[in-house]
Chain A
Amino acid sequence: VLWWVGLYTRAAPADAAAGRYAEVQSDLHEQATTALADGVPRAQLNREIVGRVVRGVPADLAWRLDSELAPGRLRWHLQHPTTVHTLALLVLVPLALTADRMREHVDRWTAAGAVGLAAVVGCAGVVGFSMVSFAHLRPGSTGWTSGRAVRAFLVGAMSFCWALSGVWRFVPTPLAEVSTVAWVGFGAALLAYLVARAAQLTCRIARLDARKISS
């Protein structure tokens, strides 16, 4: 449950996120204590808690959307590379998958069409690089941390692999195999990125727990 709360409050305004997390944590404790004292079986308690979470998901998401409409949030997002990294992933992954599907039919394409697609895919790689660069180099950026540097490197690697794949997939074998290797690199970078994200989220939840205990 707290994993979900940590997820939908992620990068939300700090006070609101910490408040919501602590409030749900308290609620869960109260519900568990009361139910167990009343002799409610633990399995039933777990079902009830999960049910409360699932039924509240639309409201959770609406709450998060509302919080993003508050003044100053756009500025905050522009100053934090996290948002740009996420956007880069959201743009790159579906486009990469689409391009891969198109690749199966590339034999039927004209040379001009193939070059056009290669240009589009290559440009997408440049867009990926540009987004990451913009996030970190623009005036007012919050700067680098080790976590951000790792994530920026991984997004950059994904962009590079994708661009490489786009360029090399249209040349004759055996050089076309470079494209396959590039896709493996893209997948590996994506996996590493998701692992880094999960680790960061876990650390954040642990920090919130520690703050809660200390307070």
Chain B
Amino acid sequence: VAYRKQGTLLPLERQVLEVGARRGADGMYGFSLAQELAGETGETRLTAHGTLYKALDRLRTAGCLEATWEDPDVAAAAGRPRRRMYRITAVGRAALAADPAGVPAHATRKAQPGQARA
């Protein structure tokens, strides 16, 4: 369960949107995002499935991300399951810009008032 001040992003949400903004139209998928988040924060462990996909679901529901399933033919040709691609929306960019923590999330992850995770 996430608690937050109105109009603020949780650290993980902010990180996800930052990655989404960098990727732009290319989009991102769950595992690539987990890898990038781990690289950014210097973590050796990848974000847990539940934490990551719940955050993605929350951002998608809020309109900050749009999600589309990859073309089955592309996935079949690559010999892997389909990826669900996420792209940041205008709403997501606005939320990122409006977030009070206007510095990269990983730099302030431990000291953002009112943005604790339970």
Contacts and interface: CB of A to CB of B under 8 A. Distances in A.
Given A56-B48, A212-B81, A26 B53 contact: no
A55 B1 contact: no
B55 to A, nearest CB: 8
B50 to A, nearest CB: 3
B18 to A, nearest CB: 20
B80 A33 contact: yes
Given A27-B30, A51-B45, A63 B50 contact: yes
Interface string B59-79: 000000000010010000000
B6 interface: no
Contacts, number: 79
A39 B62 CA distance: 39
A23 B80 contact: no
Contacts of A181: none
Interface in A29-63: 29-31, 33-34, 48, 51-60, 62-63
A56 B49 contact: yes
B54 A30 contact: no
B46 interface: yes
Contacts of A24: 49, 53
A67 B114 CA distance: 25
Contact of B82 (A5, A22, A53, A58): A22
Interface string B29-51: 11110110000000001111111
Contact of A215 (B46, B72, B80, B83): B72
Given A23-B84, A26-B82, A52 B45 contact: yes
B116 interface: no
A23 B49 CA distance: 9
A52 B46 contact: yes
A197 interface: no
Nearest to A55: B48
Closest 8 CB pairs of A and B: A56-B50, A56-B48, A59-B50, A30-B31, A55-B48, A60-B50, A26-B81, A59-B51
9 contacts: A22-B69, A24-B53, A27-B34, A29-B80, A51-B45, A54-B48, A56-B50, A60-B50, A215-B82
Interface of B: 1, 29-32, 34-35, 45-54, 57, 69, 72, 80-84
